[in-house]
A and B are shown apart, each in its own frame.
Chain A
Amino acid sequence: MRVSAGTALPNFEVDEVRAAAMKTMAVLLRDPNPIHFDPDAVAALGMGDRVINQGPTNMAYVVNMLVAWAGHPACIRALKVRFLDNVRGGDRVVAGGVVTSVAGDGRHQIAECDVWLDVVGGPRALAGSATVAVAAGAATGETPAR
């Protein structure tokens, strides 16, 4: 796989953000904030009537996109994001990205990328940048040497 500045990363889509998954993550993250599992608490705060996804899960969708693109979790070197807006239960979201620059020795490419997560029909939930190692064999699961 060869990439260059301007190469679009394949989207990673979640057709419906699941309220049940937020409950699982609330337990795993020991996150007691009720906006992730209690719609009444969300309403009481004037934040609508749907539970709100955990920020790290929104970040995970972007990581999923990068893993699916690069072929192996170890290809991801860095990720930095700013949280811009909320994702709610039932939302459809799309993680996307584009390569902004490439460095490397010919065998391995280090791609700097802009990345984001958009709510379909809604706001951009997060935006940031990622550094990803891409090798010719990455699409078959080979891990680029560090």
Chain B
Amino acid sequence: MTLDDLERLVGVEFPVGEFTIEGYEHWLATDAVDSPPLPAGVAHPMYAYYAALGGMGLTLDELFAMVGSSAADGPMFGEAGLEFREAMRVGETYRVEGGITSAARKTGKRAGVFDIVSFELRVVDPSGVVAAVSTNSFIFPRRTA
């Protein structure tokens, strides 16, 4: 992927998707992460992340392909950010929308050439209120940039 191709990614919107917080999945997830007790009906805050990534309108493989990479290239998580605006509810279905917000090429002494691509996902409740915003960055090694 050329630098021009990379820079053209900024502003690309993902297809809109959706995510339902199923009660049994919420039970299993909170058990798996050793959650403290939560108020009835209130989802664990990590559902801001699970809903965003699980409900975005493309798969991670499709996202990697969009930036000229694949899982086999060894992309790595960089940073993850969550903004919690409203408590999310078990049983509710949320719309997930967003896209790529930044893309930059860097060179490290040990890592060589790599790209950092960030994207933002907004988790929207049925009334149109943004309940949470998830921002994530992936690091893509570019051995043949």
Q: Which residues of A approach B to under 8 Å, CB–CB?
A: 12, 14, 18, 21-22, 24-25, 28-30, 33, 55-57, 59-61, 63-64, 66-68, 72-74, 76-83, 128, 141, 143
**Given the contacts A55-B80, A74-B84, A78-B82, A64 and B50 also touching, CB distance less than 8 Å:** no
What's the nearest-Cβ distance from chain A to residue B125, in Å?
14
Chain A nearest CB from B137 CB (Å) reads 10
CB atoms of A28 and B32 under 8 A apart: yes
Provide the bound-state CA to CA distance between A117 and B87, in Å: 24
Q: Which among B34, B81, B83 has the greatest number of chain A C-beta atoms within 10 A?
A: B34
Given A29-B50, A74-B42, A82-B35 contact (CB < 8 Å): no
Chain A residues with CB below 8 A from B38, complex form: 67, 73
User: What's the dominant secondary structure at chain B's contact region?
Assistant: mixed
Instruction: Determine if A80 and B80 form an interchain contact, defined as CB atoms under 8 angstroms apart.
Output: yes
The answer to whether A64 touches B33, judged by C-beta atoms less than 8 angstroms apart, is yes
Query: How far is B87's CA from A12's CA once the two chains are assembled, in angstroms?
Result: 22
A83 to B139, CA, bound (A): 12
CB pairs A–B below 8 angstroms (27 shown) = A18-B32, A21-B34, A24-B31, A25-B29, A25-B32, A25-B33, A28-B32, A29-B50, A55-B80, A56-B80, A59-B46, A64-B33, A64-B34, A66-B45, A67-B35, A73-B43, A74-B84, A74-B86, A74-B87, A78-B81, A78-B82, A80-B79, A80-B80, A80-B82, A81-B80, A82-B79, A83-B77
B106–chain A nearest beta-carbon distance, Å: 16
Q: A28-B25, A56-B49, A61-B33 are in contact. Are A78 and B83 (CB under 8 A)?
A: yes
Cα A80 to Cα B82 with chains together (Å): 6
Interface string of B92-135 (1 = CB under 8 A from A): 00000000000000000000000000000000000000000000
Q: Which of B33, B78, B79, B82 contacts A21 (CB 8 A)?
A: B33
Contact B84–A28 (Cβ < 8 Å): no
